[in-house]
Amino acid sequence: MSTHSSISIPAARARSPRRAAGAGPWAALPVVLAGTFMVVLDFFIVNVALPSMQTDLHAGSGAIQWVLAGYALTSAVFLIAAAQLGDRVGRRRTLIAGLLLFTLASAAAGAAGSATTLIVARLAQGAAAAMVMPNVLSIIGATFRGPDRARALGVYGLVMGLAAVSGQLIGGVLVQADLAGLGWRACFLINVPVGAVALALAPRLVPESHGQRDGAIDFAGTALATLAATAIVLPLVEGRQLGWPLWTWVVLALAPVLLAAFAAQQRQLARAGGRPLISPELFAQRSFAAGLLAQLVFWGGQASFFLVFALYLQQGRGLSALDAGLVFTILAIAYVGASARAPELVERYGRGLIAFGATSLALGHGLLLAAVAAIGTGGSVLAMLPGLLLVGVGMGLVIVPLTTTIISTMRPEQAGAASGALSTVQNLGNAIGVAVTGAVFFGALHHGYAHAFELSLAQLGGLLLAVALLTRLLPARDAAA
């Protein structure tokens, strides 16, 4: 359920951090984790606020998709370049710039008077998130040593998990409370005081550090990746509501060309001794290429599920934002329980656990589909309880094990590059998934919310079965060990 779950930690050879006088390493942790909490929370908090945003801003279905897809898209395409920037100019400096941009973008989103302004603010939030997340982990890796590093990373994982599982509920509470008449805007404005405090404390408490400083930042690769990703997402989001004009098909046809150009540019840069965004040598291992595809397909069904489920609950069934948040909490509890056992289970069962988790998640979607087919937009929400529990368990058994299994066979010097690639593909999958599943859902909406949600669940279940099949190409347990 969490985002940015596989970003690299700096190698031990990075330069020692310059610490503020009198500030110990643990003083920096709450400051950097405030950034982590905001970035992850903002991915999930908007789900239950989407119907209110749509009504208040008179937004179309495409605009609602862009609120989610735009955030994921910019955080994906800028993530690795932002990590390179932190290595060169300083991780604290880049983190502060990211926090500043995120805080300002949150204020702009909260004050948005139109759907266009909100989308632009979300795109800026995503770019800021890309500056924050990799540099938080780099700062933790450079600041802590030995057992302290393990404890700090444990706290990091806990904070990220809490932000993810509580996002829908916090969003529901804020929308329902309607503080000062702000409604959904409070979901963004809540970041402003948190960001302001973090910005005030970061220069004094967070140590500065640098990483590998040779080689220029890959701006050309970032530009090509941005164009390729936009060429996929833009026509999928806009095409349906515009009647699929010619330009949408032309742009979609350009996407593979741009991806090929990106791959060629990355190979050329690597041969010239530069620092590509995604190292071509990673693809020498078939298991990594298969794992990257599994990551893309799996995350293509995560943010999109939260989108269509929130719309079904609120606009279809008429639940309030708070009640919808409470329904999401059922799933979240199951996710927390399963993810707590996942590290132990993946050690024992390896890729088989991922296949089991993906199949369980697909079965959960199937149970939800059967329940919705039976109750439509009426009946008791409790009919969906078995499906929700299985969906949460399936997520918990896939998210972390998939990343750790892919990384497990990489050489130590490749782990950072592989982790960055996985994080980028994770966010890209979220963006593409929102576009694809959104097209399915909104395309069937004229038959009612229940029917649209059923079709979406069928499509999402198909993705998860594909993930289960792809796990056969991942390294077996003995190889991973």
Residue range 22-69, pLDDT digits in tens: 457 788 889 999 998 999 899 889 988 999 999 999 998 889 999 999
Max avg pLDDT among 14-18, 215-219, 264-268: 264-268
* pLDDT for res 302: 87
Q: Over pLDDT 70: what percentage of the chain?
A: 93
* Range in 96-105, 315-324, 334-343 with the lowest mean pLDDT: 334-343
Instruction: Check residue 477 and give its pLDDT.
Output: 63
Kindly state the tokens that stand for 383.
Answer: 């009919």
**256 contacts: CB under 8 Å, gap ≥ 6:** none
Band of pLDDT at residue 479, cut at 50, 70 and 90: very low
Region 429-447: mean pLDDT is 92
Average pLDDT, the chain: 87
pLDDT for residue 11: 46
pLDDT over 50 at 480, yes or no: no
pLDDT the model gives residue 478: 53
Helix (H, G, I), strand (E, B) or coil at 210: coil
| Residue 213 confidence (pLDDT) above 70 | no
**Other Cβ atoms within 10 Å of 291 Cβ, number:** 31
| pLDDT at 212 > cutoff 80 | no
* pLDDT for the residue numbered 43: 86
pLDDT band at 424 (very low <50, low <70, confident <90, very high): confident
The answer to whether 479 touches 409, Cβ cutoff 8 Å, is: yes
Q: Which 3 state secondary structure label does DSSP give 58? A: coil
pLDDT above 60 (res 236): yes
Say which residues have a Cβ less than 8 Å from residue 452's Cβ, sequence separation at least 6: 308, 312, 440, 441, 442, 443, 444, 445
pLDDT digits (tens, 9 = 90+) for 146-176: 788 778 877 887 787 778 778 888 999 999 9
CB atoms under 10 Å from CB of 24, counted, come to 11
In this prediction, residue 281 has a pLDDT band, given cuts at 50, 70 and 90, of confident
With a CB cutoff of 8 Å and minimum separation 6, the contacts of 235 are 247, 248, 249, 251, 252
pLDDT recorded at residue 481? 46
Q: Which of 305-309, 350-354, 472-476 has the lowest mean pLDDT?
A: 472-476
pLDDT, average across residues 450-469: 95
3-class DSSP state of 377: coil
The region of weakest confidence among 87-96, 198-207, 369-378, 407-416 is 407-416
pLDDT at 315 over 70: yes
| Model confidence at 12: pLDDT above 80 | no
CA within 13 Å, CB half, 367 = 19
Which pLDDT score is estimated for 3? 56
* pLDDT (tens digit per residue) in 103-143: 999 999 999 999 999 999 999 999 999 999 888 888 888 88
pLDDT at position 144: 83
pTM of the model: 0.85
Residue range 356-361: mean pLDDT, rounded: 95
Is 278 exposed, middle or buried, given 0-12, 13-18 or 19+ CB atoms closer than 10 A? buried
